[in-house]
Every structure is written in C-alpha cells, then in structure tokens.
Amino acid sequence: MTKEISGFSKLSKDEKIDWIASTYFQSADEAKKLLKSYWNADEKLQQLHDDFIENTVSNFYLPMGIAPNFLINGKTYTVPMVIEESSVVAAASKSAKFWSTRGGFRTTVLKTEKIGQVHFIFKGDKEKLQGFFQLIKPNFFYDTEPLTANMQKRGGGILDIELRDKTHEIPGYFQLHATFETKDSMGANFINSCLEQFAKTLKDEADEYDGFSHEEKNIRVVMSILSNYVTGCIVRAEVSCKIEELAEKNIPDPEAFAEKFATAVQIAQVEPYRAVTHNKGIMNGVDAVVLATGNDFRAVEAAVHAYASKDGRYSSLSHAEIKDGIFRFWMDLPLALGTVGGLTSLHPLVKFALEMLEKPSAAQLMQIVAATGLAQNFAALRSLTTTGIQEGHMKMHLNNILNQFDATDEEREHVRKHFKKHAISHAAAVNYIESLRKK
C-alpha cells in the first residue's frame, strides 16, 4: 500500500485519522480509539486545540506539576511546571524550600531589548549606501507607524536601526540591524512585520534614489526576520548565604560542600561535555515554566545555548563563588518571553498558570523562569556532589514502575520496604514485583 498521499491537509479530521489508522496500524480500530481517547469531551475546547496547529488529530498530554515556596525578591511564588521527566518538579520544590529560609532568590532584569535584521545584498559604493541609509532612516520609522502605534502606547516600539557592513563575510552582504522594545509580548509578530516593512521601504526608496546607479538601485533583500539570539534581553538570578548556613541533613560539612559545589561549577565552565549536561539541568527548570506559560521553548533553547558559547567555547551558564565566608551562586540568561499575545490568552492552562503567578509582566516572568532554572541547577549539583543523582531519580522511577504494574497499596508497601535495603534498578524492581505476585 502506498504511503504517499496528496491533499492530506484538505481531508477532514476523521478522514485524516482513517487514513493514518488504515495505513500504519494492524488494528485500525485500536489506533483510532487511542487517538480519540485523548480528545476533550468539551467540543469547543477540542476545537481550540485543533486550531493551534495544522493537521491536528489528537492531543498529546504532558503533566503539569507545581513547585511551591519560590521566594523571589521577597515575594513567594507557586511555580507551574510542564515536563515529562520525573524528579524535576521535586528537585525544584526542594531547592526553592531550601533557599526560602536563606534569603530566597534575588533576580534582576538587566536589559529587555529584542533584535531583528533585514539581510540584503548591495553591489555598489558603500559610502553611497551609508549616505542613502542616513537620509532614509526616518522613513523606516514613518512607514511602520501603523504597525508601531499600539506598541508605542504600551511603552514599546522600534529603538534603533543601524546599517551593518558584512561584506567581509559575504560579498555585498549588508544588514539593517534593528532593536525593539516589545514590553509584555514576546514580540515576534510585531518585529517581523516591522522588518518586512523596513525591507519594502529600503527597496522602494533605493529604486527612487537619484544618487544610485541603475545597478545600485537594485538592492536584493534576502530575508527579514527577528533574531532569537536575544543578547539584549538578559535576566540575572542569584542566591547567596553564609557558608555555615548551607548546613542541613545531607550537608553535614557546609564548607566542604561549598568547595565541592564550586568545583563542580568550575568543571562545567572548562569542560564542554560536562557543560552541556549542566546546562541541560538548568533547562529542565527553564523549559518547564516556559511551556506552562505558553512561551516558545525552542526560541529560548536556541538563545540560551548560543549564549553559553558567547566567549568562544560552550560553557556553564551558572557561576559559583566562595568569598569572605559567603557562598554565592548565580547566572545570567537570555530570555525572550511574553505574558500577552500568542498562546497566553488562548490556552486555558496557560491562562491558569499565569493567574497562579499573579499575572506577571514579561520582565517578572523572566525572573521567575531564571530562578527556577537556577533552583534546578542547584538541586542537581547538590545531589551530584553529595548522594549522587540516582538515589532520588530511582525513587521516582520506582513509583513509575509501580504505576505501570498497577500495584496495590500492599504491594507498594512491600516494594518500598525491600528497596530501602536493596539498590534500585528497573530490572530489580520488575523482578521483585513479579516475585511478589507469584507468591
């Protein structure tokens, strides 16, 4: 049977499902039943989800968990997290609780500027282009007024536009490099619309500019698009306390702990193989809140990892320092987030998440996300440098295995007792449950 199909997008949702089920599954009925079992009974709600993307056939659930007790700049937040990995929410909560009695997280938004570029080719006299650009610069602002009026009312808009000469990289390559303030929206649509207008203005004005030769008038715009590398949109999150205040059950010797912790961070700073995993731990927290609040996690991921390489080598995003008896742990993150626009007013659970965070501005959300990332990194490094990561992980994993086996309360009790004394592994847990059942 051929697996090629034309006009798939034109089929109804049921027809799409019929085609998939009959093309790929032995039991077409089972496949259809499964997809439909994830549909929402509320038809309006289902329609809303169907309309988010194209060719929707079902919903794909991810768990939404809650990490309470995040004390950030003196205010306590209950943080929503959407993530499939066990231990992450527990780790964030534990870390938040730990720091809530040690002054909490201090966060600062360092800058909030977004970037967009019109990439174009100009084969001609560079100085003439520079003169032309200065002459028509006000037109870029003027021609985009219909697009910027609303944003300006909210205190945002176009900040500046520069002409950048990139001809040393590619012959004839120039950019309009523009910066924007988009306030509480992530701003992708706003920026891209402005850029496309800039491109049009650039071409139209060049065409009419008497100073250009026939060849020079023919500016070739390659593309107009925002940059997800938001080096101008940075938030800092930080925790600190006296070294002796780090003491608790698993940290009997706070000084040794602080030293080992700082060394672990240093290793991530110099060793890219460790840095990637280290930063992945940060992103466990960051992505979970970014997803829960309906933001673009791919954009955030792309920006953060590029930022981790900003000094020429991929490195740790976080830093630790021990000075004058104080332990300090902090990081700067590039985060372009929105609390208006996009999914924020459409997805009911996103609205819920934002309401639980007490309707933050984009700048406040940047701070909450960064604090959660730092909390996650602290939790991972604390486990790694003390008990090891597997202890906590396997406890969670055990729970997943028990659920998979539909274990009764009595079986769960037996399993917990057994694995207090024995090392947990997937095989050991499965064997033990099976042996219990044979009895």
Give the binding site for ligand MEV (CB under 6 A). 85, 277-278, 280-281, 284, 380, 384, 389
Q: Which residue has the tokens 């009764």?
A: 408
Minimum Å distance from CB 384 to ligand MEV?
A: 6
Number of helices (H), then strands (E), belonging to the chain: the values are 16, 9
Minimum Å distance from CB 212 to ligand MEV?
A: 55
Minimum Å distance from CB 292 to ligand MEV?
A: 17
Token code pair at residue 344:
């924020």
What is the DSSP code (8-state) at residue 389? Answer: S
Our CB check for ligand MEV shows the closer of 212 and 261 to be 261
Minimum Å distance from CB 281 to ligand MEV?
A: 3
Which residues, 6+ apart, have CB-to-CB distance to 16 below 8 Å? 8, 55, 57
Pick the catalytic residue from 137, 200, 280, 395.
280
Pick the catalytic residue from 128, 305, 393, 418.
393
Our CB check for ligand MEV shows the closer of 261 and 307 to be 261
Q: Are 95 and 375 in contact (CB under 8 A)?
A: yes
Our CB check for ligand MEV shows the closer of 241 and 282 to be 282
Q: Which helix (H) or strand (E) holds 331?
A: strand 326-334
Neighbours of 186 (CB within 10 A): 27
Pick the catalytic residue from 181, 205, 296, 347.
296
Q: Is 145 a catalytic residue?
A: no
Please give the full DSSP string across 294-363, using - where no structure is assigned.
T--HHHHHHHHHHHTTTTSS---SEEEEEETTEEEEEEEEE----SBSGGGGT-HHHHHHHHHTTS--HH
Our CB check for ligand MEV shows the closer of 183 and 278 to be 278
Minimum Å distance from CB 420 to ligand MEV?
A: 23
Pick the catalytic residue from 15, 85, 162, 413.
85
- Identify the CA nearest to 364 among candidates 341, 339, 395: 339
Q: Is 85 a catalytic residue?
A: yes
What is the DSSP code (8-state) at residue 248? Answer: B
Beta bridge partners of 323: 326
Q: Is 395 a catalytic residue?
A: no
Separation of alpha carbons 1 and 150, rounded Å: 54
Token code pair at residue 356:
């639980």
The residue at minimum Cβ distance from ligand MEV is: 281
Our CB check for ligand MEV shows the closer of 178 and 379 to be 379
Separation of alpha carbons 75 and 93, rounded Å: 16
Q: Is 418 a catalytic residue?
A: no
Minimum Å distance from CB 380 to ligand MEV?
A: 4
Our CB check for ligand MEV shows the closer of 85 and 208 to be 85
Q: Which residues are catalytic?
A: 85, 280, 296, 393
